[in-house]
A and B are shown apart, each in its own frame.
Chain A
């Protein structure tokens, strides 16, 4: 599935991975997160070879994966329970995060009663509160409507800057990749290879501001062109 795939990520980097669907982006994430074992290859982390980053990554997917039987607060506390953090400490931290993300007052609500955007915010808090070294975001906003997505992109970018996180984002949305990332890795179709790595040099405050930056459309079209060439090479069944 994956072949000769190698890229490096700096600390506090924001890297997006784009590529045709089914090219193995989720597989890469599962390997990094330690959910799958690679047949070969290695992960170097801060200069050391490691098996996986299990327990050190924050994984967020398209589905919010909130536990339906847990309240908002209990969902947020999930990762800290796993780490064995003392209840009072964990709860204090959870309340702080919930307040910061505008979810104060919803602590005892069940996920079923929240909107999609709110649920994804809870999922983001659950990821951030564990203080992971790397955030792995697998199309986290693709199930949301455009307005909510724009809003959450802003929330994400702020949070990443506040907490100094390293982020790897898988997305189908070139627009989102350019607006959020510092670098964009373009993958080719199966077996996945790194095609090019683009450095995005937009110094905008928010993802919305980035979209009106003079360089934005240049990057956008460059990335579109990269993906277009691929669709011509492998015409059947590839969509971007």
Chain B
């Protein structure tokens, strides 16, 4: 028996659609190269614009100036001191806020009654822009470390709470039924089914919350502080010292970048079962 396929239009279409030139660049090194070229081009254009007088050095600063200043601030240790202040505040706020929020959110699973009772209050608190609390928080907690941490906590806790509560509500009921049919107590259902199934959602909030932790620290420093990157940016911008502002901003960017990858590592370590499959995206 023979099978004859007369025409294969769909197969031909597939082949034509693939872009061979893009595929060559779509490797780790290829992508890094494209990214580096894009960044270099951006700074070159900026520097050129300043030198040719198209862009005001006074209002936007210049890449060479920023670079020289960065070297100087690293050498005299100022940048390190400011960075460590902000980083410490942000991480402390992130850790306290995320843990408190997640625990509260998970705890709400235990009592549907309490959960329904507090739901409107959670929504109400969430709808206040927490940044608006910053002046009061400084009044209450002073101009030191505590007020920045408190602001970070107020931002991160509510995000973690809502995410954890939602994830606990969405936890697979069939898995819970199975445990109950095995004779599990409510406690066992909580720890063996609910908590593990909320972990991916809770860790996903880490990514959002690390950003909010930094927001809290920096805004707290804007309001009143003696140290920190927020302090550095705020005082420099009031003196029209744009290069210093940029150094602060780029440092914040680098911190955010590093913390994001730290969370990536935490995710890999805590959720190995999520990563056991190699394909993570459908190719369209």
Partner-B contacts on A (CB < 8 A): 30, 33-35, 54-57, 59, 61, 63, 65, 67-70, 78-79, 81-83, 109-113, 130, 136
Known A81-B192, A112-B276, A113-B277: A67·B175 in contact at CB below 8 Å = yes
Q: Which residues of A contact B277 (CB under 8 A)?
A: 112-113
Are B183 and A78 in contact, with the CB atoms below 8 A? Answer: no
Give the docked Cα–Cα distance between A111 and B183 (Å).
Answer: 23
User: Complex: how many Å from CA A2 to CA B259?
Assistant: 57
**For residue B277, which residue of chain A has the nearest CB?**
A112
Contact A59 B181 (CB under 8 A): yes
**Residues of B in contact with A, size category:** 20 to 34
Closest-by-CB residue of A relative to B178 is: A65
Interface residue from B175, B196, B199, B271 paired with A65 (Cβ < 8 Å): B175
Q: In the complex, which of the residues A78, A110, A111 contacts B182, with contact meaning CB atoms closer than 8 Å?
A: A78
Residues of B whose CB lies within 8 Å of any CB of A are: 174-175, 177-184, 188, 192-193, 196-197, 199, 271-273, 276-277
| Cα A57 to Cα B80 with chains together (Å) | 63
Give, as a whole number of angstroms, the nearest-CB distance from B179 to chain A. Answer: 7
A-B complex: 9 closest residue pairs judged by Cβ atoms:
A55-B183, A33-B181, A59-B181, A110-B273, A110-B276, A69-B196, A69-B273, A82-B182, A79-B182
* Interface pair A34/B180, CB less than 8 Å apart: yes
Across the interface, do B178 and A59 meet the contact criterion of CB distance under 8 Å?
Answer: yes
A sample of 14 inter-chain contacts (CB < 8 A) reads A35-B180, A35-B181, A54-B181, A55-B181, A59-B178, A67-B193, A67-B196, A69-B199, A78-B179, A81-B192, A82-B182, A82-B183, A82-B184, A110-B273
> Min CB distance, B235 to chain A, in Å?
48
